[in-house]
Structure 1
Amino acid sequence: MNKALKFVVFLGTTREGRLGERAAKFILEQIKSRGHQVEFFDPEVLKLPMLVKPLHFYRDRSTAPAQLLEMNQKIVDADAIVVVSAEYNHSIPPALSNLMDHFPGSSFSSKPSGIMCYSPGQYGGVRAAMQLRAFLGEMGCISVSNIFAIPKIHERLDAEGKPSSDSGTNDNTVKNAVTFLDQVQWWAEAARHQRELSANDNTTKF
């Protein structure tokens, strides 16, 4: 059996009445059920300020806020990134980009990312997901091809992130999560193997 992977899950919304907590609870449980470790970054809880000085602007890292240093180390140690994103005006939520932009691309590099998006409408937030592909690629954590989109999330998941008993799409939601995480896990294991080889022979890290 492959050893456990380390995930960091970013939730990308602070909007009043947000449904993202349902999506986050669901995917966190799916990841944990595979035996992996997971850190959860919620901008509503973390309360990072509007970006003024990112971590990589501190010439002396020891003077940076302890919160940023601790979060950054968790990102560096991760094998995979999962972004749980809403769609604000057909675009990336500012809380998500603000949260991730506090850290340098080098912290995200050489590991895959997965995009999970949702909306109360029929498109499931995929327009934001298309923009996240470019954003995550520039951060150094290229997204896998599978996007896990949940349309009409208020009907599919309850407040605790469980598939709703009155939804006729329960099986599809879980099935799609399995397909999504299978792909993220495959690339995370491959990237971890390559990082270990690179560390041993001092080859370039991208």
Structure 2
Amino acid sequence: MAGKEVAKQSLKVVMFLGSARENRVCTRVSKFVHEQLTRSGHDVTVIDPLEMDLPVLRQSMMFVKDWTTLPETMVKANETLVNSDTIVVISPEYNHSIPPALSNLIDHFPISSYKYKVSGIVCYSPGPYGGMRAAMQLRCLLSEIGTISVPHIFGIPHVTKALDEDGKPLNEHMESGARKLITQLGWYSEALKAKKEKDGVPS
């Protein structure tokens, strides 16, 4: 039946935060999305550019021969990413584009850590467009690193009027938009997991 919530399994979700800006609104958006995902029974790990504090990318992990030379936080984050089912990206837009903190964070990890996973985009802005220009570019990036981006992009326009500082929703669009995204993440992730368990992945 169209619109039916079919997700039955608990998914391991990695949530990338897209902003390192002072007084970032990303915090309230991530709190809301985290709560919605956990309420739906999913296990969520947050990878935050502020906490990771990575330098400007010079070399991806995939080109480093000895990972003992890398920060332990990076190695552990990559292990979590490898073992995840689903990736959710929380992103504003900077100059109508992907925030540099987000692309820098994503690019530090090996492409192999992302492949054959499902991804979802949550974007936001203080204005009416909800970060959609960055979302269109993110969809291209997420495809290039090997993920399957679900059809629904959860855009949040006028974000400070949509969520309070604690991440509590201030309008009906928030929960309905999150529910649609999470339902699609569950459907696609379960289908992909079943296929991988049955046939593995292409070499």
Give your verdict on TM over 0.5.
Answer: yes
The 2-side partners of 1:9 and 1:67 are apart by 15
**Paired residue type of 1:204:** P
Q: Tell me the residue number matched to 1:110.
A: 116
1:189 paired to 2:190: yes
Secondary structure at the counterpart of residue 146 of structure 1? coil
Match of 2:152 among 125, 143, 146: 146
1:40 paired to 2:58: no
Aligned length: 197
What pairs with 1:45-124 in structure 2 (closer than 5 Å)? 45-124=51-130
What pairs with 1:16-35 in structure 2 (closer than 5 Å)? 16-35=22-41
The 2-side partners of 1:109 and 1:198 are apart by 15
The 1-side partners of 2:194 and 2:66 are apart by 31
Q: Tell me the residue number matched to 2:4.
A: none
**Paired residue type of 2:169:** P
TM-score (norm 1): 0.91
Q: Which moved more, 1:43-52 or 1:139-148?
A: 43-52
5+ residue gaps, structure 1, are: 165-169
5+ residue gaps, structure 2, are: 1-6
Query: Against the structure 1 CA distance between its residues 63 and 198, is the aligned structure 2 distance closer, same or farther, given a 3 Å change threshold?
Result: farther
The 1-side partners of 2:128 and 2:90 are apart by 17
The 2-side partners of 1:56 and 1:190 are apart by 28
The 2-side partners of 1:39 and 1:28 are apart by 9
The 2-side partners of 1:116 and 1:3 are apart by 22
Per the TM alignment, residue 69 of structure 1 is displaced from its structure 2 partner at its CA by 1.3
The 2-side partners of 1:82 and 1:88 are apart by 19
The 1-side partners of 2:64 and 2:73 are apart by 14
1:163 paired to 2:190: no
Q: Tell me the residue number matched to 2:176.
A: 175
Q: Which moved more, 1:123-132 or 1:16-25?
A: 16-25
Secondary structure at the counterpart of residue 142 of structure 1? strand
Q: Tell me the residue number matched to 2:199.
A: 198
Secondary structure at the counterpart of residue 154 of structure 2? strand
Q: Tell me the residue number matched to 1:14.
A: 20
The 2-side partners of 1:194 and 1:53 are apart by 33
Per the TM alignment, residue 45 of structure 1 is displaced from its structure 2 partner at its CA by 1.8
Secondary structure at the counterpart of residue 152 of structure 2? strand
The 1-side partners of 2:169 and 2:49 are apart by 24
RMSD value, Cα: 1.4
The 2-side partners of 1:160 and 1:132 are apart by 26
The 1-side partners of 2:8 and 2:136 are apart by 31
Secondary structure at the counterpart of residue 191 of structure 1? helix
